[in-house]
Amino acid sequence: MDCINALKPERVFHYFKEMSRIPRGSGDMVKIADFCVAFAKERGLSYVRDNADNVVIYKPASDGYENSDTIILQGHLDMVCQKTEESNKDFLKDGIDLIVDDGFLKADGTTLGGDNGIAVAMVMAILEDNSLSHPAIEAVFTTDEEIGMIGALQLDMGLLKGKKMINLDSEEDDTATVSCAGGSDFNVSIPVKKVKMTGKKVTVTLKGLLGGHSGVEIHKGRANADILAGRFLNAIKGLDFGIISINGGDKSNAIPNSCCIELCVKEPENFEKPAYEVLREIEKEISDREKLIGKIIFENDGEYDVFDNETAKNLIFSLVCIPDGVMAMSADIPELVETSLNLGILKTEEDKIILHSALRSNKMSSLYYLEERLKVFFSAFDCEIKTYGHYPAWEYNSNSCLQDLYTETYKEIFKKEPKVAAIHAGLECGVFAGAIKDFDCIAIGPNIFDVHTVNEKLDIKSTENVYNLLVEMLRKML
């Protein structure tokens, strides 16, 4: 990681490098919270760490800013862990290997964790720099944002005096985000009954898709490997086979880029050609946008446990008919996706098949209606339904002082007009806005591309620009 030492701002990338050494996938927050606590202790800053491993670090106002309003600077500690098939990275033990490439910071074979590690790195650089001018700062580092904003939802907002917040979880450096979607998780467990079947084991893989963030990139029409697997199974259901297992995707908020189906086939000689014809048809349809690769591998003859007819029927019905992707566009904000869902996890366990979708909407009423649609849909057969992880939408505030300050400062530094936008992804701003009276907030951040994928990359110059913008905004909060 020595290549990182020459990057500017030096201390921002120093802390990002240090964080990249620490495993911090969602659900594994202890070590990164320890890192934040150690940072505060070493600099004599007061802090609070709660039972969810959220960490709040307090820095007093600099001279002359004692009467200014307290500002909250906020980012989340966890990252989405994805890796290439070739990578042997163990996200529970290993850090991320960083690469500098043509003006971008990337990771070797994994997601980068720029979402949202760069926010924490920026805030740490500000907290340690006593030469900066700023009001009192409450630095809020939350946990498990990527799996339902769990940390933010458990945070005691009484720990905060500030009513103004700059969230640093945005990914376009010329844009202030001022509204976001709410969301929930919808989990279905289909009971599995099995029967014995004799034949040849066949593994069908669908891979090579782009995947991506199920909020930010849902409007791009990227193919969902789990949905395509259902299409494949439905198209070949006239052939004599049984389903051993099906697995695709492991994060509800990431569009699955691969899926693996294990089958038992009675007559391989009558299976291969029609099955490949179906794969080639699907590949051809997807090829204009992505490079889907479908493979069929014939393995050992034997006796296998396969889904019985009823289980297979319920699975294929679910995958073919479940709503997925964009459900509605906003009538108020041009080009904004209002409501969507993503089947992000398809997993076979011993006695059940799990389908886990991430639901989003900028209108909570539409979110709840989408949940009801799914409940009615899955009432067609026996299954267990759970909805959880609800987080609120963040509604637009037309009287935001922070929006005005951002616009003014951006124009002064970069000599052009910035954008102000709403997004379909969920941000923790909605949780804070729902809990703090008279709350004012914006979300900003550097350019990050292909988040939640192994192609994730952080624009280095953009990071410097946003950091300088943030520092100048703090200086002007006198």
Average predicted confidence (pLDDT) for the chain: 95
Q: What are the pLDDT digits (tens) for 60-93?
A: 999 999 999 999 999 999 999 999 989 999 999 9
Q: Which amino acid makes up residue 233?
A: L
Contact 51, 89 (CB under 8 A): no
Q: What torsion, rounded to 10 degrees, do the Cα atoms 302, 304, 308, 314 define?
A: -110
Q: What are the pLDDT digits (tens) for 201-235?
A: 999 999 999 999 898 899 999 999 999 999 999 99
Residue 248 has pLDDT above 90, yes or no: yes
Note the helical H segments in 336-400.
364-378
Q: What are the pLDDT digits (tens) for 356-380?
A: 999 999 888 999 999 999 999 999 9
pLDDT value for 264: 98
Q: What is the phi/psi pair of residue 283, to 5°? A: -60, -45
Confidence of residue 391 (pLDDT cuts 50, 70, 90): confident
The residue-averaged pLDDT of 426-439 equals 93
pLDDT value for 331: 85
How many Å apart are CA 114 and CA 19, to the nearest integer? 10
How many Å apart are CA 58 and CA 282, to the nearest integer? 54
Residue 145 is a catalytic residue: yes
53 — alpha (psi -120 to 50), left (phi > 0) or beta? Answer: left
The helix (run of H) or strand (run of E) holding residue 467 is helix 460-475
Residue 55 has pLDDT above 90, yes or no: yes
Q: What are the pLDDT digits (tens) for 421-430?
A: 988 988 899 9
**2-170+427-475 and 185-390 agree in CATH topology:** no
Q: What is the CATH number of domain 2-170+427-475?
A: 3.40.630.10
Query: Looking at 78, 144, 185, 217, which residue is catalytic?
Result: 78
pLDDT value for 411: 98
pLDDT value for 1: 56
Q: Which residue has tokens 């066949």?
A: 202
Q: Does domain 185-390 have CATH number 3.40.50.150?
A: no
The residue-averaged pLDDT of 434-455 equals 95
Of 83, 279, 268, 295, the C-alpha closest to 205 is: 295
The residue-averaged pLDDT of 450-468 equals 96
pLDDT value for 48: 98
Query: Looking at 28, 53, 144, 145, which residue is catalytic?
Result: 145
pLDDT value for 396: 85
The residue-averaged pLDDT of 329-341 equals 90
Q: Which residue has tokens 């729902």?
A: 434
208 — alpha (psi -120 to 50), left (phi > 0) or beta? Answer: left
pLDDT value for 78: 98
Residue 141 has pLDDT above 60, yes or no: yes
Q: What are the pLDDT digits (tens) for 3-52?
A: 788 999 999 999 999 999 999 999 999 999 999 999 999 999 999 999 99
Contact 325, 224 (CB under 8 A): yes
Confidence of residue 355 (pLDDT cuts 50, 70, 90): very high
Higher pLDDT, 239 or 391: 239
Q: Which residue has tokens 């389908």?
A: 355
pLDDT value for 287: 76
Q: What are the pLDDT digits (tens) for 271-305?
A: 999 999 999 999 999 977 788 999 999 999 999 99
Q: Which amino acid makes up residue 436?
A: I
Residues 6+ apart with CB under 8 A from 163: 69, 70, 436, 437, 438, 439, 440
How many Å apart are CA 213 and CA 340, to the nearest integer? 12
Token pair belonging to 58: 């307090």
pLDDT value for 393: 87
| Domains in the chain: boundaries | 2-170+427-475, 185-390
How many residues are listed for the chain in this entry?
Answer: 478
Residue 242 in 3-state DSSP? Answer: strand
Residue 259 has pLDDT above 60, yes or no: yes
